[in-house]
Structure 1
């Protein structure tokens, strides 16, 4: 595609700036700068070559015209109709070259470039955060130890619960309109502040409607920056200790998102368990809500989405790129289970087998049962479906918030599981499920 060299030039130019901003050993930085500089020179060469190729293609009609008319270049009259037609044909030839384009729903080539430039460069993104945090601090925006996290294994109802909580204006969250400048949402809002909130069904095809003002699990990108992706290895997401320094940045980031002193920061983050214990040691006041679901139907739902997203990502690699940016490794081609520090869990290598997803469920929820329970709510998905108002009231009570007029309708989401699975794994999962129900708050 002719635009690719120009896209690469833009990406590599910004990547070089990002490398220069890295806080690493100088010798290491010099090596990285040299490597990035070589990429930049190569992309510049490709741009020049593309321009020369375009000129060559555009000149073909002139050459043909000169040959057929037995004229020389000096004989050409560029004001004549023949010359103008020849120039027009030559300049439009490139548009008729067949180019296979990948189907990226809702994202133009320019939009994809903007996402890559904003989200691939951690050092620049961090600088933008620090600048915005400093500005808001001067305005009197304070950090707050109280915040709310909705978490759980994917497909446990976390998106639905967060969306219903966020209808209460006491909460403030990241939403799709903050993409792709997630570390500077208030500055970005000055340039991009879409009006209206037209909604469509999200890509999960699960009936949940989303728009640009819909809240989503976006804060993980900032935590990825703080750790420079160190907890994301080839095969798993590893639990780790969030340092006090990085925790302070995380709390400042929440203040940036809130942009006032009255709101309570709310986020959905299915990876939060990876660093939960270390954050709890630093903050006893925040509330976390863990959702869980009957293991067999939950595993079947994960398997279904894994198949769906694997197909989607093969057809459109930008979907995979997008999910990787946001730390979404729940399913798809880059799916990764959690690896907790004391876990000895081994996984079935066949991710198209229901047993693998039962193992993912067992691994997550067996660890969840071991955590500190202070300011923790366990919510049963089935109870939430049947009695959503009661569940929301229990959360508001825990936060000491008054709320009136909750009128959410119950809904049913029963799933028949036809796949064969290990009886041993099923029994183990059901035992954990029973223990979770004993710990359930609502």
Structure 2
């Protein structure tokens, strides 16, 4: 598989006459160490966001997928066929190696504790990432944790650091062309109850502090 995958990437680069390959995927979260082993010169950008806002965004996306799949049977079939279960009617948590935690999250969702379930999911995924970066010093050097808030508040500075980390050329021109477009969303805001905010804080406080977030 490893030889095939490397050759597959090389083929894509050759077919397009390019030198760099960009991969964005939620399921890469549990594969970063393995991908780093396969491609030691790869660079990783790991985005993170304030858990309250991130959970609100995840729940909104999940709702939209559910609505779309209810109105189109083929949509659900397609998502299953391509192996994407992040959102929608066949929602399945990414297993980061703790089957018991995955079961807890599923039980919370089934019991109607959606917010707490998503909060525990957030903590599980980012806790796994924090541990992985701690255990893998060479991966830690190859990875940049990028806070969404920093990208919106200081887009030129944050984009510049990202470009340097990835070894990309023509950074100044690219940053100047795109930095002004980066801003927090204005089309929705979290509308959690006090009880739900307390649940998010309880579930995410420990891991959130690792990434510089304080419970609200």
TM over 0.5: same fold? yes
Q: Which residue of 2 aligns with 1:404?
A: 172
Q: How does 1:105-124 map to 2 (within 5 A)?
A: none
Q: How does the TM-score come out when normalised to structure 1?
A: 0.40
Q: How does 1:189-208 map to 2 (within 5 A)?
A: none
Q: Which residue of 1 aligns with 2:13?
A: 258
Larger Rg: 1
Q: Which residue of 1 aligns with 2:206?
A: 431
- 1:421 maps to which of 196, 206, 210: 196
- 1:384 maps to which of 147, 151, 173: 151
Task: Tell whether the 8 Å contact from 1:307 to 1:352 is kept in structure 2 after alignment.
Answer: no
Deviation at 1:307, TM superposition (A): 1.7
Q: How does 1:319-330 map to 2 (within 5 A)?
A: 319-330=75-86
4+ residue runs over 6 A deviation = none
Q: Count matched residues.
A: 193
Taking the aligned partners of 1:379 and 1:265, their CA distance within structure 2 comes to 19
Deviation at 1:413, TM superposition (A): 2.3
Q: Which residue of 2 aligns with 1:27?
A: none
- Name the SS for the 1:266 alignment partner: coil
- Name the SS for the 2:89 alignment partner: coil
Taking the aligned partners of 2:4 and 2:52, their CA distance within structure 1 comes to 39
- 1:305 maps to which of 61, 77, 90: 61
Q: How does 1:36-75 map to 2 (within 5 A)?
A: none
Q: CA offsets, 1:118-165, max 9 Å, x none? A: xxxxxxxxxxxxxxxxxxxxxxxxxxxxxxxxxxxxxxxxxxxxxxxx
Q: Which residue of 2 aligns with 1:355?
A: 116
Task: Tell whether the 8 Å contact from 1:323 to 1:329 is kept in structure 2 after alignment.
Answer: yes
Relative contact order, higher structure (CA 8 A, sep 6+): 2
Q: How does 1:69-148 map to 2 (within 5 A)?
A: none
**2:95 maps to 1:339:** yes
- Name the SS for the 1:257 alignment partner: helix
Q: CA offsets, 1:168-198, max 9 Å, x none? A: xxxxxxxxxxxxxxxxxxxxxxxxxxxxxxx
Task: Tell whether the 8 Å contact from 2:116 to 2:200 is kept in structure 1 after alignment.
Answer: yes
- Name the SS for the 1:434 alignment partner: helix
Q: Which segment drifts farther, 273-282 or 390-399?
A: 273-282
Q: CA offsets, 1:8-47, max 9 Å, x none? A: xxxxxxxxxxxxxxxxxxxxxxxxxxxxxxxxxxxxxxxx
**2:161 maps to 1:394:** yes
Q: How does 1:230-245 map to 2 (within 5 A)?
A: none
Task: Tell whether the 8 Å contact from 2:116 to 2:203 is kept in structure 1 after alignment.
Answer: no
Task: Tell whether the 8 Å contact from 2:66 to 2:89 is kept in structure 1 after alignment.
Answer: yes
Taking the aligned partners of 1:278 and 1:323, their CA distance within structure 2 comes to 25
Per residue, is there more helix in 1 or in 2? Answer: 2
Unaligned runs of 5+ in 2: none
- Name the SS for the 1:264 alignment partner: coil
Taking the aligned partners of 1:335 and 1:363, their CA distance within structure 2 comes to 16
- Name the SS for the 1:265 alignment partner: coil
Taking the aligned partners of 2:89 and 2:5, their CA distance within structure 1 comes to 29
Deviation at 1:294, TM superposition (A): 0.8
Deviation at 1:370, TM superposition (A): 0.7
Taking the aligned partners of 2:42 and 2:203, their CA distance within structure 1 comes to 31
- The structure-2 alpha-carbon separation of the partners of 1:425 and 1:250, relative to structure 1 and needing over 3 Å to count, comes to same
Unaligned runs of 5+ in 1: 1-245
- Name the SS for the 2:164 alignment partner: helix
Taking the aligned partners of 1:262 and 1:396, their CA distance within structure 2 comes to 17
**2:23 maps to 1:267:** yes
Give the CA RMSD over aligned residues. 2.4
Taking the aligned partners of 2:64 and 2:113, their CA distance within structure 1 comes to 11
Deviation at 1:393, TM superposition (A): 1.6
Q: How does the TM-score come out when normalised to structure 2?
A: 0.78
